[in-house]
Structure 1
Amino acid sequence: TKAFFKPTADALGITIKEDTTNGLDDVRLQVTGNAVKWDITELGADECARGSKEGLFEKLDYGIIDKSGINPKLVHDDWVGISYTSVVLIYRTDVFGDKGPKTWADFWNVEKFPGRRALSGSQATETLSVAALASGLPIDKVYPVDVDGALKSVDKIRGHVDAWWTSGAQAMQLVKDGEVDMASIWNGRAGTLKKEGAPVSFSFDQGVLTADCMVIPKGAKNKEAAMKALAMFVSPQLQANLPLYVDNGPVNEKAFETGKIPQDRIKDINSAPENVKKQVLQDAEFWRDNLVEATEKFNNLVQQ
Structure 2
Amino acid sequence: MTRSSLFAVVTAATMVAAPAFAQQSITVSSAGGAYQEAQRKALFTPTAKELGITIKEDTTTGINDVRLQVAGRAVKWDLAQLNGYECARGAKEGLFEPIDYKIVDTTGIDPRLVHPEWVAISYTSLVLIYNTKVYGENGPKTWADFWDVKKFPGRRALSHVFSPDMLSVAAMADGVQMDKVYPLDMDRALKSFAKIKNDVSAWWTSGAQATQLVKDGEVDMASIWNGRASALVADGAPVRFSYDQAVLMPGCIAIPKGAPNKALAMKALANFLKPELQADFSLLIANGPANQGAFSTGKIPPERAAQINSSPDNAKKQVLLDPTYWADNLVTATEKLNEIMQR
> Normalised by the shorter chain, which TM-score bucket?
over 0.9
Which residue of 156, 169, 172 corresponds with 1:117? 156
Match of 2:261 among 222, 225, 237: 222
Higher helix share: 2
2:93 match = 54
For 1:16 and 1:113, locate their aligned partners in 2 and report how far apart those are by CA, in whole Å.
50
- What is the DSSP-based 3-state SS (H/G/I as helix, E as strand, rest coil) of the residue aligned with 2:253? strand
Q: Give the Cα–Cα distance (whole angstroms) in 1 for the partners of residues 203 and 109 of structure 2.
A: 34
What does residue 146 of structure 2 align with?
107
Could you state the TM-score of these two structures normalised by the residue count of structure 1? Answer: 0.99
TM-score normalised by structure 2 residue count = 0.88
Q: Distance in 2 between matches of 1:23 and 1:154?
A: 26
User: What does residue 182 of structure 1 align with?
Assistant: 221
Structure 2 letter corresponding to 1:235: K
Shift of residue 93, structure 1, vs aligned partner: 0.4
Instruction: Quote the Cα distance in structure 1 between the aligned partners of 2:341 and 2:225.
Output: 20
Distance 2:333 2:161 in 1: 12
Q: How does 1:148-227 map to 2 (within 5 A)?
A: 148-227=187-266
Is 1:276 aligned to residue 324 of structure 2?
no
Q: What's the C-alpha RMSD, in Å, of the aligned pairs?
A: 0.7
Question: Given residue 66 of structure 1, which amino acid in structure 2 is its aligned partner?
Answer: D
Looking at structure 1, the residues matched to 56 and 342 of structure 2 have their Cα atoms a distance apart, in angstroms, of: 41
Within 5 Å, give how 1:2-21 maps onto structure 2: 2-21=41-60
Structure 1: which 5+ runs fail to align? none
**1:6-44 CA distance string (max 9 Å, x none):** 111111111111111121111111112111101000011
Larger Rg computed on CA atoms: 2
Distance (Å, rounded) in 2 between the aligned partners of 1:221 and 1:56: 14
* Aligned partner letter, 1:174: L
* Matching of residue 303 in structure 1 with residue 342 in structure 2: yes
Q: Greater relative contact order (Cα 8 A, min sep 6): structure 1 or 2?
A: 1
The residue number in structure 1 matching 2:75 is 36
Question: What is the match of residue 121 of structure 2?
Answer: 82
Which residue identity does 2:256 align to in structure 1?
P
Corresponding position of 2:332: 293
The one of 241, 261, 264 equivalent to 2:280 is 241
CA deviation vs aligned residue, 1:84-128 (integer Å, no higher than 9, x gap): 000000000011110000000000111110100001121111111
Q: Deviations over 1:260-291 (max 9, x none)?
A: 11221111100000011110011111101110
Alignment pair present for 1:92 and 2:131: yes
Matched length: 304
